[in-house]
Structure formats: C-alpha cells, structure tokens
Amino acid sequence: MPEEAATAPVALGAFDEHHPPAQEIIDKCVHCGFCLPVCPTYVLWHEEMDSPRGRIYLMKMAAEGAASINSEWVGHFDSCLGCVACMTACPSGVDYGKLIEATRAQIERRYDRSRGEKLHRRLLFATLTAPRRLNLLRWPLLAYQKSGLRPLLRGSGLLKLLPHFVTSMEALLPKLAAREDLPEVTPAKGERRKRVGLLLGCVQRVFFSEVNAATARVLAAEGYEVVAPAEQPCCGALLVHAGEEERAQQLARATIDAFERANLDYVISNAAGCGSNLKEYAHLLRDDPAWAERAKNFSAKCRDICEVLSECPPRAQRKLLVARAAFHDSCHLQHAQGVRTQPRSLLAQIPELEVLELPESAICCGSAGIYNLVQPDAASELGDRKASLIVPLRPSVVVTGNPGCVLQLRASLERAGHPLPVLHTIQLIDASIRGVSLESLL
C-alpha cells in the first residue's frame, strides 16, 4: 500500500497553492446527477465516489481539509478515465476537465506512489512520449510478430505468468507494417487552399504511420499544402492527463517552437487525445510570461482533421466504398473538442458506405491515454462492453478518430471472438478518393 502524503499544514486543506482545483468550478456543481449515466466508472460500479459528482465532492472535502490525499482518495481519481463525458452531460457547465487536471497534478506532487507504480509510470512515459525510443521497439516487436512466437506464447498460457501490465501491453500491440514516412512538405494538388501543419503523434507516427500518410494524401487532394516538421516532439498529451505538468509544459514549448517557424494557417491533428491537448496549450502555459501569448496563438490555430475537411466542400471525387462502418466516437473528439457531426458528414460523402451508430456512444471504450495500461481490469470491462454493442450491428469495419481507441477496440473485439478491422476515419476517406478497397488496407 502506498504511503500517505506528507501531513504538513498547507493552505487550501490538503492541496498546495499551485493551482489547486478551482473553488469556483467546484461550487458550480449542483449535485443533480445528470452526469452519472455517462460516467464509465459509475456505469461499471455504481459507486458514488467513482462518479463525477462524487469526485467533485472529494475535491471539495480535500480543499476544506476534511479529507487527506491518501491511497483511498487517490484511488477514486486514478480510476477516472478523464473522458470528460460528464462535461457534455452537465447542464451547469462544470468544467470537470480543468478540475481533474489540477487534481492529478496535485496528486503527483503531494502523494507518494508505491515504488512499483512509480517505476511503471516512468517506463510508460519514457517510451510512449519518445517517438525515437518507440521506434527502437519496432524491430523486436516485428520479430515477435513475424516469428510465430506470438500465437505460441498466447496458446501456451505462459503470458499469464507475466505481470498484468505486460500482458495488457501485449494484448494491445498492433500488427506492424512497413513505415510510411512523410516528406517535410507535401504540395497541394491544384490551387492551394491553405498551408497546414500536421502533428505526427508518437504512437501514430511509429505504429500507425499509414494513418499519417492517408491524412497528408487527403489534405493534398483537397488543396492543402502539408508541412510535417521533422523535429516535432511528443505533444505531451499523456503527461498532462496524468498530472505530469512540468514535463508536459516543456514538450508544449518545443511543439509550439517546431510549428511556429513554418508559418501555417492551421496545425492539424488526427489523434483526438493529442488534438485536445494542443487546444489547451494556452491554459497549460498561462503562468509563463514568455510563452503565454505564443501558446494562445498556437492553440487558436489547432484543429482536428475532420474539422478542417468539413470547412470547405470536397474537391476530390469520392468513389464508392461498399462497407458497413460502425462509428465509434473518441471521447477526446466528441467530449473534449465537441467534434461529433463532422466525421459523420465526411463519411456520408462516401458513396455506398453505410454508417452505423453505436448505442451508448457517449461512453468511453476504456482506452483513455494510458488508462488501459495502468487500470487494465476496468479498461477490459469497458472494452468488452463496447465490443458487445458493436458485434450485433454486424459491421464490416469499425471506424474511429484516435489511435488509442483503435488499439483498444481491436483488442476488445478479438477477445470477444470477433476480430473486426478497426480503422481511422481518414483511412476510409483516403480509400474512397483513391478508389481502393478496404481489404487493401488490412
């Protein structure tokens, strides 16, 4: 059991003075409970303290000094997916996203996690936020997949002897293909509409480079010149969502620096978690006089790929794509960025593509950044629930807008005995423009 936090008296109860969860946001909660039915942890466990309303109450208790930052208190926040479905549902406009971000940063400063937890988190951040290190893993992982070791290990039951976090990672591992690296500049086809930057992401760049390639092709076909700065680092999304504020700020500054020089109309992301983080740089760097204004200007230029493509009528002809596509809303797209209609409208432009709506679309699939690696049991339950709602629709493909969701849905569908293809929205648009079949993408 992790040790309790230091008990030295501080202002604001259990919190320190560096941006505690804002009292004015906490006070906005009128305890109506409208957020409860969309909260994945409340849906799973029906525990008040694992609901948005309960978590806000725990913050209030800590701020008043009536609760301390101990393992039980922290557990209720560790189990939160940060999906912010509660914000969409809240009629009082409670900005839970800001509350959980501030709370998590407090936890990382004021709570002493167990040695095992610290090591696990350090390892995850050291690899998942460093594309070069992730890339080094490609070769051993490729060998693992191509050598036939994977089915052998899975069939033997030996995997079950390994620590839970290793088996969780193994289950999520995507099928690796040859990397499709992008040139630094992809010219627009025809008259140029705009000059845009493309955030390559970390997991996206190394494990789903075909999604970045499809994004650049579609943008170019639609008249956008695409700049993908080679020196762009990780955007820091996983770190912000995990309360690692300082490191996240360093990466935010480096990301702004990499794109600012390229003189762009927009900075585009095709990974919902990264995109919502870029739009929050102004908040993340608000205390830094040298960067606050730059961050504000940068955030104002950031868009999800579906937002940009929906702005203008399509220029490239869409060819038919015969498929039944179940559309899964990524939480950081629908709740954090409010992007729900745009992907649907873009998919509706594809002749013969049938788009199927999922029940419970507001509820997270269990991916949520590193959630499925640090809370694998809850994540699996949510993944199984999502798979059980997808399968009866009999789709030929599942479509979504975030690499984390792609991994989580593939693993969940495989566990359910229905290993359906799961693709990014932009891959379907690209296939339709190029006139290639979905099978050729698998």
Contact footprint for ligand SF4 (CB under 6 A): 29-35, 38-41, 52-53, 55-56, 80-86, 89-90, 92, 94, 96
Using CA atoms, how far apart are residues 316 and 82, in angstroms rounded to an integer? 37
Nearer to ligand SF4 (CB atom), residue 31 or residue 132: 31
Q: Are 354 and 323 in contact (CB under 8 A)?
A: yes
Nearer to ligand SF4 (CB atom), residue 6 or residue 32: 32
Using CA atoms, how far apart are residues 181 and 220, in angstroms rounded to an integer? 16
Using CA atoms, how far apart are residues 254 and 238, in angstroms rounded to an integer? 16
Q: Tell me the closest approach of the beta carbon of residue 40 to ligand SF4, in angstroms.
A: 5
Query: What backbone phi and psi angles, to 5 degrees, belong to 94?
Result: -70, 120
Nearer to ligand SF4 (CB atom), residue 233 or residue 366: 366
Using CA atoms, how far apart are residues 275 and 230, in angstroms rounded to an integer? 18
Nearer to ligand SF4 (CB atom), residue 241 or residue 318: 241
Nearer to ligand SF4 (CB atom), residue 238 or residue 256: 238
Other CB atoms closer than 10 Å to residue 329's CB: what's the count?
25
CA distance to 49, 240, 279, 317, per residue, from 286 (Å): 31, 14, 13, 43
Structure tokens at 255: 């990301």
Q: Are 318 and 349 in contact (CB under 8 A)?
A: yes
In the chain the first and final C-alpha atoms are separated, in Å, by 44
Pairing of strands 224-227, 185-186: antiparallel
Nearer to ligand SF4 (CB atom), residue 31 or residue 160: 31
Residues 6+ apart with CB under 8 A from 35: 51, 52, 53, 85, 86, 89, 90, 96
Q: Tell me the closest approach of the beta carbon of residue 276 to ligand SF4, in angstroms.
A: 12
Q: Tell me the closest approach of the beta carbon of residue 367 to ligand SF4, in angstroms.
A: 12
Q: Following CA atoms 2, 6, 10, 16 in sequence, which dihedral angle do they give, to the nearest 10 degrees?
A: -50
CA distance to 99, 272, 336, 359, per residue, from 84 (Å): 11, 13, 7, 18
Using CA atoms, how far apart are residues 275 and 303, in angstroms rounded to an integer? 7
Its sign, for the CA torsion 100, 105, 106, 108, is: positive
Using CA atoms, how far apart are residues 116 and 114, in angstroms rounded to an integer? 5
Structure tokens at 350: 């594809």
Helix (H, G, I), strand (E, B) or coil at 323: strand
Using CA atoms, how far apart are residues 1 and 407, in angstroms rounded to an integer? 31
Q: Distance from CA of residue 417 to its chain's centroid?
A: 25
Nearer to ligand SF4 (CB atom), residue 81 or residue 433: 81
Using CA atoms, how far apart are residues 125 and 107, in angstroms rounded to an integer? 17
Q: Tell me the closest approach of the beta carbon of residue 355 to ligand SF4, in angstroms.
A: 25
Using CA atoms, how far apart are residues 384 and 391, in angstroms rounded to an integer? 11
Nearer to ligand SF4 (CB atom), residue 80 or residue 211: 80
Structure tokens at 66: 């009536």
Nearer to ligand SF4 (CB atom), residue 56 or residue 398: 56
